[in-house]
Amino acid sequence: MSILLSGRWPEAERDQWLALLSAALPEERFVLAPEPEVEIAVVANPAPGALQGLPRLGFIQSLWAGVEKLLADETLPPGIPLARMVDPAMNEAMPQTALWAVLGLHRGFFQVQAQQRRREWRQPAQPRAAEWRVLVLGLGELGGRVAQALAAQGYAVSGYSRSPAALAGVRCLHGGLEVLDAALAEADTVINLLPLTAATRGLFDAARLARFKPGAGLVNLARGAHVQEADLLDALARGRPGHAVLDVFQQEPLPAEHAFWGHEQITVLPHTAAQTDARSAAALVAANVRAWRAGSPLAHGVSRERAY
C-alpha cells in the first residue's frame, strides 16, 4: 500500500509537501512515481495521464482548491472519490485580500496611487461603507467567508450563488445567470469567487461587463478563464468597470508584454490573494486519508457533475 504524491511544481516545493505529509501520516508510505500498490493519490495539477494504470487507486486528494484542470484530464479514472483542498489558512487570507481590494476601490486608493505617479493632489470622494454595495459571486467556503467579513466592516453586501444560501448580514441571491445580471447593475464592487465550470468559463465577456454600473470595480480572485481579457480592456475604456483588481489570468505568469501590466485601471496581483499553507493543508490531507481508510465520509468531496 502506498500514496502517490504527484504534481507539476519545483522540486523544493515538492520536497516540502513530502516532508510535511510524511510527518502527518507516519503510518503511510509515500512514493513519487506510479506503482501498482498505489491506493491514494495526493496531487497538485498533475500532468495529464499521471493517474493512469493504477489498478488499486481508490481516492484522489487535490492540494488545490480548484479541480477544473484535474477534471479536464480525459484519462482521469472514473468513479473514484475526489476531494479538493479547503485550507483553513487560505480561508483567513482570502477575506483579507478582498477587504483590501474593496477598501482600495471604495476609498479611491488605487486612483490616488495613479495620481501620485502624476504628482496630482486630488482628494477622492469618501462615501460611507454602508453606501458602498458589494456583490460577492460564489457563496461557498471562500465566498461565504469573504461576504461575511465585508458585511462585518459595514458594507452593504449581496451574494450570488447557483443554489440557495443563508448568511448573516448578507443579502443572498440564487438562480440562473439572469439573477446575476440583474445584481451587477447595482454593485459598486463585484468580487468573483465562482468555481470554473462550463457555465462560468468566459463569464465576464463584453455583454456582461456592459451591465456593470459605470465606474464600478471588478475583483477577480477565482480563475483567469472567467474573464475575456480583450473584452475587459475594451470595457475599461468605456468605464464599465472603472477599475479591475486581478489575481488570476488566462496565462500565468502574466507575460511581460501583456497590456494589463501598464494599464492605469488595472491592479495586477501575482496569484497571491490566498495561498495554500502546506502546514495546515497537510493536516487536512491526513484527516481525509484516515477517513477513507476507515470508510468514513470525506471532507470537501467533489461532484464531478458540478465540477466542484
Tell me the average confidence (pLDDT) per consecutive run of 10 residues in the chain, 308 residues long: 95 97 98 97 95 96 92 93 94 97 98 96 97 97 97 98 96 96 97 95 98 98 98 98 98 97 97 95 98 97 88
Tell me how many domains the chain contains.
2
Evaluate whether residue 301 is within a structural domain.
no
pLDDT of 10: 93
Sheet strand arrangement including 156-161: 171-174, 156-161, 133-137, 189-192, 217-220, 243-246, 266-268
Compute the distance between CA of residue 245 and CA of residue 219 in angstroms, rounded to an integer. 5
Task: State the catalytic residues.
Answer: 223, 271
pLDDT of 306: 85
Evaluate whether residue 121 is within a structural domain.
yes
Pair (106, 209) in one structural domain = yes
Evaluate whether residue 302 is within a structural domain.
no
Pair (169, 240) in one structural domain = yes
Q: Containing domain of residue 98, as a range?
A: 88-268
Q: Nearest-5° angle of CA 261, CA 12, CA 285? A: 95
91, 145 in Cβ contact below 8 A? yes
pTM confidence score: 0.91
Rounded to 10 degrees, the C-alpha dihedral 281/290/40/78 comes to: -100
Sign, CA torsion 145/209/199/50: negative
CATH number at residue 78: 3.40.50.720
Evaluate whether residue 299 is within a structural domain.
no
Pair (188, 221) in one structural domain = yes
Evaluate whether residue 304 is within a structural domain.
no
pLDDT of 197: 92
pLDDT of 305: 84
pLDDT of 293: 97
Pair (74, 134) in one structural domain = no
Pair (153, 232) in one structural domain = yes
Pair (30, 146) in one structural domain = no
